[in-house]
Amino acid sequence: MNLTLPATFVERIHDLSPGATKTYLALAWLKAEKKPNPTQLEIAAQMNASERSVVTYLKELECEGYLKKERIKAGRGRTTNYILLTELTYGA
């Protein structure tokens, strides 16, 4: 599977820390792999980073306008849907 980054992401990538960029790409990859609501633990495992680092990077992405968080009810608990605001296109 190939991920194609939008021009707006590539143009503004210098605004993000390397960890936030890696988090964005990991989240995009997980969503492309049909995991619509990956957990912070799954994102951390994809990045080979700690959950705490992922929390920090997710906050940075949200502040910079790349990400929106939406709490949804799932079963007995709640989960977070991370919405990538700069859409990626997925190629086969």
Q: How many alpha carbons lie under 13 Å from residue 4 in its C-beta half-sphere? A: 6
- Cα–Cα dist 73/23, whole Å: 24
Q: Which CATH architecture has domain 2-91?
A: Orthogonal Bundle (1.10)
The whole-number pLDDT of residue 49 equals 95
Locate 27 and state its tokens.
């989240």
Tell me the residue ranges of DSSP E strands in the chain.
2-4, 67-74, 77-84, 89-91
**DSSP SS3 for 16:** coil
Q: Which tens digit of pLDDT belongs to each residue from 12-71?
A: 677 889 999 999 989 988 988 888 889 999 999 999 999 999 999 999 999 988 899 998
Of the candidates 82, 80, 78, which has an alpha carbon nearest to the alpha carbon of residue 20?
82
